[in-house]
Structure 1
Amino acid sequence: MLLDGRVAIVTGAGRGVGRAYALMLAKHGAKVLVNDLGSSAAGVGEDQTPAEEVVSEIRGFGGEAAVNTSDVSEWAGAQSMIDQAVEAFGGLDILINNAGILRDRMLVNMSEEEWDSVIKVHLKGTFAPTHHAANYWRLRQKGGHEVDARVINTTSHSALFANIGQSNYAAAKGGIATFTQVAARELQRYGVTVNAIAPRANTRMTEGLREYTEEQLAKRDPEWIAALVTWLASAESKNISGRVFESWGYGYAVMESWQHGPQTEASRDPGELGDRIRQIVRFARANAGIDRNTWLEP
Structure 2
Amino acid sequence: MTTARRPGALALLGALALALSSCSLLPAGDGPELAADDVITIGSSAAGMFGYFGHGSTTVAADTISTRFELPNGAEIYETTDELDPAARDLIEERAGKYVAWEGKLSQKTQNPCTDLPSTGVEITGSITHESSVQDCADDTPLSTLKQSVRDAEPELFGQLARPVDDWTIEIRPWTEDGPVGGGPDDSAPVERYVLTAAQHEIGMGISAENTPAGWGADLAPDEGNGAPLGWDTTGLVLIDLNAYLLNQDKLGCGDQTGQIRVTKQGNPAQTWTHRLCPGQHSEVLAQTLRGL
Structure whose residues are more often helix by fraction: 1
Q: Could you tell me the TM-score, scaled by structure 1's length?
A: 0.26
TM-score w.r.t. length of structure 2: 0.27
Flag the structure with higher strand content.
Answer: 2
Q: Return the index of the structure with the highest Cα Rg.
A: 2
